[in-house]
Amino acid sequence: MTEHQDETRAAYDGVVELYASLFANRLETQPFARAMLGSFAELVRGTGNLRAADVGCGPGHLTAMLHEMGLDAFGLDLSPAMVDHARQAHPALRFDEARMEALPVEDRTLGGVLAHYSTIHTPPGELPALLAEQVRVLAPGGLLLASFFATDGPEPVRFDHKVTPAYSWPVDRFAGLLAEAGLFVLARLIHDPTSERGFLDAHLLARLR
């Protein structure tokens, strides 16, 4: 495990209850993110393969939403404390500890992968390998929904996230990485920030070619 992963795991282990309480509304105040999540679930259902991984699931609130939307959803997270919380909060669902760069999932078996702001702590040079791992587990025609903080500049920007350092990305640059990984971007949604950080919020919905 690289140093930044160790730091990220320790940071999230230390804020589980606070983090979970902040997101207890499960996107009730975030209509754009909610709409993209619904589109993602609908398209995954359309593939006939209902298995979907919530990668970087945190307290499991979105895993539960995907389940309610008809998917066979399970959650994976680097933080063991987050996984423990998710298991207690949603005992009927599966949650496992895992690194995003080494998912405990067989090749080409999932209808969908959700990466809801879970790639933001990955240094730019490591992001292509992370995306390649997410593509590895997608079945042909499978969907990936990636949400992240966006910047208008030409390069990723490192900033002091409240939990641990993170990066915002130029949307076209991130979309280009998805294309290089073998994905076709079906839709993109960019909107004003829902937090005081000032970065735009971006959602890219892509299908495996």
Q: d(Cα 144, Cα 47) in Å, to the nearest integer?
A: 13
Q: How would you classify the pairing of strands 110-116 and 138-150? A: parallel
Q: Given this model, what pLDDT does residue 195 score? A: 60
Report pLDDT for 17. 85
- Give the pLDDT confidence score for residue 196 in this predicted structure: 64
The CA-atom distances, in angstroms, between 16 and each of 12, 43, 74 are 6, 31, 19
What 3-state class would DSSP assign to 163? coil
pLDDT of 56 reads 96
| CATH number belonging to domain 3-17+31-208 | 3.40.50.150
Torsion of the alpha carbons at 40, 44, 46 and 50, rounded to the nearest 10: -140
Write down the domain spans for the chain.
3-17+31-208
Which pLDDT value is given to residue 20? 79
* Crossing angle between the packed helical segments 61-68 and 80-89, to the nearest 10 degrees: 40
pLDDT at residue 105 in the model: 98
Distances (CA, A) of 63 to 83, 84, 208: 12, 14, 21
- Evaluate if pTM is beyond 0.85: yes
Describe the chain by its helix, strand, coil percentages, rounded to 5.
Answer: 35, 30, 35
Helical ranges in the chain per DSSP H? 3-13, 16-22, 31-47, 61-68, 80-89, 127-136, 171-180
What confidence score (pLDDT) does residue 3 get? 73
Output the pLDDT for position 192.
86
Give 10-residue mean pLDDT values along the chain (209 residues): 75 80 81 96 98 96 97 96 94 97 97 97 95 98 97 92 89 98 97 75 96
Round to whole Å and give the CA distance between 194 and 202.
11
